[in-house]
Amino acid sequence: MSAVQAQGDPFFKVLTGYRYLSWLITSGLYLMTFATGGRPSGFQLGVTASLLLAAVVTHGLHRAYWGQPQALVRILLFESAATLALLWPTGGLDSVFIWYAINPILAAASSLSLRWSLGLAAGILAAASAMVAVPLGTVTGWDVRAPVFPDLAQAFPWGDSRLYTALIFVLVTVGVQVLAALSRTAYRQNLELGRKSLQLQRALHVREALYELIERLSEVVDEPQVAAAVTSACRRLVGAERLEVCMGGQALEGQASAGGPAPSIRVDLAAPGRVYGCIDAYYGPCADPFQLAQDRAALERVAELAAAALERLRLAELNRQLSVAAEKQRIADELHDSVAQQLFNISTSCYALQHGWRDLPADEVSRRLAAVGRAASVAARSLRQSIYGLVPQQEAVPAFSEAVRRYAADIAQVHGVKVTCRVPGEVDAAKAHVSRALWRVLQEAVGNALVHSGCSAIQIRLSAHRGGWTLLVADDGRGLPQGEQPVAAGRGLASMAAVARKAGGRLRLWSRPGRGTVGACRIAAAGRARTAGKRAGIVNGVEAAAW
C-alpha cells in the first residue's frame, strides 16, 4: 500500500493522532515532575526531544511502508527499542512514558495477528518490569527515576498499580485488534462503494458517448466521416496517451499527451467475414490494469458500432450498384419489348410503302403515312419512359383497353393485315405491373407474328376473370416446325416468358406447321394459385388452348 493510500486509511490517522497526543501528554507530565523535583533541565529536555524524534521517524516509516507486514515488524521492533531505551532512565514500568509505549502495541494490533500483538505487549511489560527491578541508578550510581505521582499506588485498593498497568495493556491490545478489524472492514467497504460509484459514473459516461456516436454514425456517408466520429468518441472515452484509428490502410491519430509509446490495446473493426481496420491505444508504463480493462471494453463497443456503420455503407454501395444494374436491365427490356417493336413496325411499313406505293390509292398511302407518324410518336414516348423510368400514370395516356384497341388499329393500317381485337373494359382494373406485363407480351407476340409467320390475320383477345387476366394472340401464318422449342428460339420469346413470370404469370404457345400459332399469357390475381386449364376451341381454324 503506498503512502497516499496510507493517508486515506482512517486507522492510520488514529494511530498518528494518538502517537503525537501521547507524546505531548507524557512529556508535559514528565517536565512538570522534573520541575518540582529540581532535576537538571538538560536531561529533561533531552528525554522529551529524543522521544519526539523517535515519534517522527516512526511515523515516517509507517507512512512509507503501511500495509507491508514484514516491514511493519522491523518498524515495531525499532519503535519498541527506542521507547524502552527512554523508559529505563525514567523509571521503567513506573515511568509516565509507559503510556507512550502503547504505540507499537496499537500499530501491531492494527496490522498483525492477536498473538503477535500480545507477544509484543508482554515483551514491553516484561522489559519495563525488569527496569523497575534493576533501575539505572544501581548501574550509574545516579537515580533519575521520578514517578508522576508518588502516592499512585494508594489509588488502587486491590493491589499493585503495575498489575493494573499490565491489565490495561492487554485490554488495549485486544480492543485495538477488534477495532482495527472493524476499521479495515469499513475501509474496504468504503473503497468498494467508491469504486462501484466510479464504475456507475463511467458507465453513464460511456453510454452517453456511445449514444452520440450512434447518432453521428447514422448520418455518415463515407469512411472518412466514420473515422472522424470514431476518433472523437475514443478520445472522450479512454485515457490513452495516444490513439490511432486505422481504416482502409490509413491512420488518423489523436494524441492526448506527449510521451513514448507503451503497452497498447488493439481492437479490430470487424464485421462477419470482414475486417475494416483497427483502433490502437497506447499507454504509459504505469498504466492501471483496471483502467486498461475498462478502456478495452469501451473501445470494443466503439469498434462494434464503427464496423456496423462501415458494413451499412458497404451494403448501401452494393445496393446502389445492384439498382443500377437492375435499371439497366429494365431499360434494355423496355427498349426491346416496346421501342424495338415499334421501330420494327415503322421500318417494315416504310419498306412496304417504298416498294408498293405506286400500286396503292393516294388516300391509302396517306393513311399509312399517318399511321407511321403515330407509330413514331408512340416510339418516342416509350423511349422517354424507358430513359427516365416514367410510369404510364405520369402522362395523359388512355385506359389500357383503349390503348390495346388503338394499337390493333395502327397495326392493321400500317401493315395491311386484318386485326381482330376483343378487349372488355374490365381489364382496366388490372394493377399497373399486370397491365405493363400484358402490354409487353402483346407487342412482342404481334411483332413475332408480323416478322416470322407471314400471316394475313391476327386475333387479339384480352379477358378478365376471377382467377386473373388472360391474353391470347393468334395468327394464321406458317406456324412453327415440329419439334422446335419456341420459348428457347430467341430473345423475343424468352423475354415474353420472363415478363410473364416476373408478373406472377405463365406463357404458353401452340403451333402446327401451316396452321398458325397461338400464344397465351395468363397472370393470376394476387393470392390465387394457378390452376390447370381446359380446351377453349378453335381460333381461325388453328387448334388453341387456354387455361
- Count other C-beta atoms under 10 Å from residue 541's C-beta: 9
Cα 475 to Cα 442: distance, rounded to the nearest angstrom: 13
> What is the CB neighbour count within 10 angstroms for residue 337?
26
Place of cell 416514367: 390
Q: pTM for the whole thing? A: 0.43
Query: Using CA atoms, how far apart are residues 215 and 208, in angstroms rounded to an integer?
Result: 11
* Residues ≥6 apart with Cβ < 8 Å to 414: 345, 346, 348, 349, 368, 371, 372, 375
CA end-to-end distance (rounded Å), the chain: 92
Cα 508 to Cα 33, 353, 365: the distances in Å are 129, 34, 37
Alpha carbon distance 284, 291 (integer Å): 12
What is the rounded CA–CA span in Å between residue 147 and residue 407? 135
Q: Rounded distance, CA 21 to CA 494, Å?
A: 106
Would you give the distance in Å from CA 429 to the centre of its chain? Answer: 49
Sequence-distant (6+) residues with CB within 8 A of 90 are: 30, 47, 96, 97, 144, 145, 146
Domains and CATH numbers, the chain: 3-191 (no CATH), 415-547 (3.30.565.10)
Q: Render each residue's pLDDT in the chain as its tens digit; 547 residues.
A: 445 555 666 677 878 888 888 888 888 887 776 554 455 567 778 888 888 898 888 888 888 887 788 888 888 888 888 888 888 877 777 777 887 888 887 777 767 777 777 788 788 888 888 887 766 655 444 444 545 444 444 444 444 556 666 677 777 777 766 777 777 788 788 888 888 888 888 888 888 988 998 988 888 888 888 988 998 898 888 888 888 888 865 444 444 334 445 447 889 888 888 888 888 888 887 888 888 888 889 999 999 999 999 998 888 888 888 888 887 776 776 666 667 667 777 777 787 777 777 777 877 777 777 777 777 777 777 676 666 654 444 445 578 888 899 888 888 887 788 999 999 888 888 888 888 889 889 988 888 888 888 888 999 999 988 778 899 999 998 887 765 555 444 556 787 888 888 888 999 988 888 888 999 999 987 644 444 333 333 333 333 333 3
Q: Are β-strands 242-247 and 418-422 bridged in parallel, bridged antiparallel, or unpaired?
A: unpaired
Query: What's the Cα-to-Cα distance from 455 to each of 82, 215, 407, rounded to whole Å?
Result: 131, 67, 17
